[in-house]
Amino acid sequence: MAILLASTDFWEDMEVWSSGLQEAMPEMDVRVYPDEGDVNDIEYAVVWKHPRGILTRYPNLKAILSLGAGVDHVISDPELPDELPIVRLVDKKLTHEMILHSLHWVLHFHSDQYLYRIQQQSREWIQQSSVQSEDRTIGIMGLGNIGKAIGDSLINLDFKVIGWGASPKSSLGAIEYYYGQEQLSGFLSQTDILINVLPLTENTKDILTKTELSYLPKGSFIINIGRGGIINENDLLSILDTRHIAAAALDVFAEEPLPENNSLWDHPSVYVTPHIAGQSNPSSAAKTIAENIRLIEMGESPYPIYSLNSGY
C-alpha cells in the first residue's frame, strides 16, 4: 500500500510532508509525485493543488485527502474520479493559526491601531476614546470547527460574539446564532467586526454585496479568512470609499494571487495578506491525515468528508 503526495504549490515543503507522513504511518510507503512508482500501489492521494487529471491514473485509489482546510483545489479538477471520499483537513494547529490571525485583526481594529497608524503619518497626537470589549460585537459567518473556536476565544476576552450560518445549529454556548437568508440582515446590523469563515459554495458566492454590507453599522470592520468570492470585491471597494465600513483585513480573494492591477492593493483602508491565515503545520497535519487513513482502513468514516450537497 502506498500514499501519494501531490502538489503544485508546496514543492519546497514536500520533503517535510513526506517525512511527517512516513513517521505517522511507518507501515505505508509514502511517494511524492511524479515519483509514483507502480500506480497500482497507490491507495491514498494527499494533495494540494495537484496537477489536473493525475488522480485518474490510480485504479486502486480509496480516498483523496486535502493538505489544507479547503477542497476547492480538489473539486475543481475536471477529471476527478467519481464516488471517492474527499477528506477535508481539520487540524488543531491549523485551527490555532486561524484563531491567532483573527485575534490579531480584531484587536487591531478594536484598539484603533489602524487609526493611530494614519495619525502617525500625519504626525497627529490624538487619543481616541476606548471601547470596552464587552461593548464590541463580533459577528462570525460560518460556525464550523474553526468559526466556533474563534468565537470561543473572543468570548474568553469578553467580546460579545454572534454567529450566522446557512442552517440551524445547536450547542454553541454563549454565541447567539442566526441562520438563513431571512436572518442575515438582523445579524449584520448588530456586527461591529465581521469575520467571514464561510466556505465558497453556490449559496455563499457573492452573499455579501453592497446591499448586505450596508446593513453593517457605520464604522464597522471586515476580516475575511474564509474564501474569496463570498464578498463582492467591487461592492466592498465602493462601500469603503463612502467610509461606511472603516477598514477591511483580507486574506482571501476571488482571484489568487491577487492581480497586481487590483485596486484592493492600493486602497488605504484595506490590509492585504497572501492567504496565510491558516497555513497547515506538516507535523501536526500529518498525524491528522494518518488518523483518517487508519479510520478508512478499519472500515470507518474519516472526518470531515466533503459533502457535494452542502458544498463543503
DSSP symbol at 254: S
Q: Exactly one of 31, 50, 108, 275 is catalytic; name it.
A: 275
Q: How far is CA 40 from the centre of its chain?
A: 34
For 98-133, the DSSP string reads HHHHHHHHHHHHHTTHHHHHHHHHTT---PPPP--G
- Report in angstroms the alpha-carbon separations of 286 from 46, 89, 222: 10, 10, 32
Q: Is 227 a catalytic residue?
A: yes
The contacts found for 34-40 with CB under 8 angstroms, 24 or more apart, are 36/4, 37/2
- Report in angstroms the alpha-carbon separations of 45 from 187, 223, 248: 40, 33, 37
Count CB neighbours of 191 within 10 A. Answer: 23
**Is 236 within 8 Å of 248 (Cβ atoms)?**
yes
Q: Exactly one of 117, 227, 244, 294 is catalytic; name it.
A: 227
Residue with cell 475536471: 78
Apex 169 CA angle, 168 and 173, nearest 5: 140
**Is 151 within 8 Å of 161 (Cβ atoms)?**
yes
Catalytic residue set:
227, 275
